[in-house]
Amino acid sequence: MYAMHADKHRELDENSSADSSEELYERLNLKVDKGQEPLRIDKFLTQRIEHASRNKIQKALEAGMVLVNNKPVAPNYRIRPLDEIVLYSDKEAPGEEIIPEELPLNIQYEDDDVMIINKPPGLVVHPASGNYSGTLINGVAWYLLQKNKALTEQNLPRWGLVHRIDKNTTGLMVLAKSEPAVRSLAKQFFDHSVKRQYIALVWGDLVEDTGTVVAHVGRHQRFRKLFDAYPDGEHGKEAITHYKVLERFGYVTLVQCILETGRTHQIRVHMQHIGHPLFNDETYGGDKIVKGTVFSKYRQFVDNCFEACPRHALHAKTIGFVHPTTGKEMLFESELPEDMRSVIEKWRSYTSATRARP
């Protein structure tokens, strides 16, 4: 069967196994020394990269994921002094085989290179420990087989994920359907040129209308299933989130978040870091009253809001990129899902009624 990638962080539970747009490719930059003797690039990279097998390096070269002086090269290319090498590599370990399953998919756009899917809440993106079936990727595999009767489970084309969003985050994802598309999109994500706009409902009333959170994001040093922000940059990886207030409801605020980087749980961790966790985010403290009085009517209202949106209130509204083949700029937008629209309207009505009281 066609093998995809499983979740690298197998110790994470299914509710926290993926980021709000976590990037799945890394880039390694190397510069050949002046005195380097001519050597096949596959052998050179195998020697230089820890734990890299020659077979994996050759596959990366054949897929065009290795660039020398900004151009793809064959495995038999002989490196020269001062060559600049860029290697794009997925961060995932070899994973479970995919069993195609018929699942409803909200496909907003598709061509030979890319597919745009609007993911609903509660859908895991791809198989991992505890989630071997019923994922978005299981559904996509089935969809491709139905669309092209010449395909079988054994010869599904190599394509895949270049980013992912969390099980309980809704919104747009782009999938690459060809190796050139994987290479192009991975580069765009790494270069931070992909446009990603999220809508979030957060606790509290933000002081400023706009702001930027700059803090490394990495695993929590005590609780390994969680992630944390490290402002001094000693742990984790660089993470930058820009936010803008869209509407204020006193106790909660509707914000737009634009990602400059894509780290695990970045938006959720950054908003918690500045004291405004996402509404109903049980992992990062948003599933309880964070700000406001706790008299009985208010508590009941908040409980009703939790029921209206029984997940962290985060939606991937926009994704934009340069098409891998045509070079055309593509931009896709999606409407807020019903649960977020419902809870926003509840807070809007509550705030209006509260302000109207004498």
Residues carrying an active site annotation? 166
C-alpha to C-alpha distance for 9 and 128, rounded to whole angstroms: 9
Q: Six-digit token pair at 294? A: 């706790």
Length of the chain: 358
Strand-strand pairing, 314-322 and 170-176 = parallel
The answer to whether 80 touches 199, Cβ cutoff 8 Å, is no
C-alpha to C-alpha distance for 343 and 94, rounded to whole angstroms: 40
